Amino acid sequence: MIRMSKRSNSVEDFRINIALLGSDYVLKTMQTLPIRRDKAFAFFQNPQNLFDITPDWLDFRMDVYQQGEKVFEGAEYDYHIRWLGLKVKWRSRIQDYNPPCGFTDIQIAGPYTRWEHTHIFEELGDKTLMFDSVVYRLPFSYLGRVTHALIVKNQLEEIFHYRALKIMEWLKGELNTGP
């Protein structure tokens, strides 16, 4: 298992690590959520919530979204982001959909040669351990590795830290309004 590191300025109980494994990178996160697994899963199966947990500088936009739409096996989503000022299109497909335990979104078109993001939710009493595992590969071999070292690794760490902070903000709101 890959050892997780903790950033001093991040959310309590959040861990992230990025390692090179062969020709792929593996990003792993772990975050403890003070809610039950079914409620955590419900948040992540709503594509609309991606807008709230993605940093503004990525300018994340879904090309087509129906209000109330939920993730399901085989669902495909088209969206775009801005990376270094460039508009980048991305298409993902949901696979291994297993509520409320997890699902995987894979990039079928976009900037990476490979992108497989697995979301896992483990019940721990009235809490949830949320794990992310992203296996990804950049194009252009050596140039891709240099780009990863100089830019991509830090950006992915920032994106996932931002996401963890926003999830905790959502939870604070949810916990304050619940019974």
What pLDDT, on the 0 to 100 scale, is given for residue 70?
Answer: 81
Quote the mean pLDDT of the chain.
89
Q: Does 9 have pLDDT greater than 60?
A: no
- Please, where are the H alpha helices in the chain? 37-44, 49-53, 141-147, 153-177
Confidence of residue 10 (pLDDT cuts 50, 70, 90): very low
> Burial code of 73-92, b = ≥16 C-beta within 10 A, e = fewer?
eebebbbbbeeeeeeeebeb
Q: Does 178 have pLDDT greater than 50?
A: no
Q: Does 6 have pLDDT greater than 60?
A: no
Q: Does 66 have pLDDT greater than 80?
A: no
The DSSP symbol for 57 reads: G
Confidence of residue 25 (pLDDT cuts 50, 70, 90): very high
| Contact indicator for 38, 100 with CB cutoff of 8 Å | yes
The more confident residue out of 6 and 47 is 47
Which neighbouring-strand residues pair with 88? 81
How many whole angstroms from its chain centre is CA 78?
16
Q: Does 177 have pLDDT greater than 60?
A: no
Q: Does 48 have pLDDT greater than 90?
A: no
Q: What is the pLDDT of residues 112-168, one digit of tens each?
A: 999 999 999 999 999 999 999 999 999 999 999 999 999 999 999 999 999 999 999
Q: Does 5 have pLDDT greater than 70?
A: no
Q: Summarize the chain as % helix, strand, coil (round to 5).
A: 30, 40, 30
Q: What is the pLDDT of residues 76-100, one digit of tens each?
A: 999 999 998 899 999 999 999 999 9
Q: Tokens at residue 93, please?
A: 């497909």
**DSSP string covering 111-136:** S-SEEEEEEEEEEETTEEEEEEEEEE
- Domains of the chain listed by start with CATH number: 14-177 (3.30.530.20)
Report the phi/psi class of residue 11: left, alpha or beta, with left for phi > 0 and alpha for psi in -120 to 50. Answer: beta
d(CA 128, CA 139): 35
d(CA 57, CA 119): 23
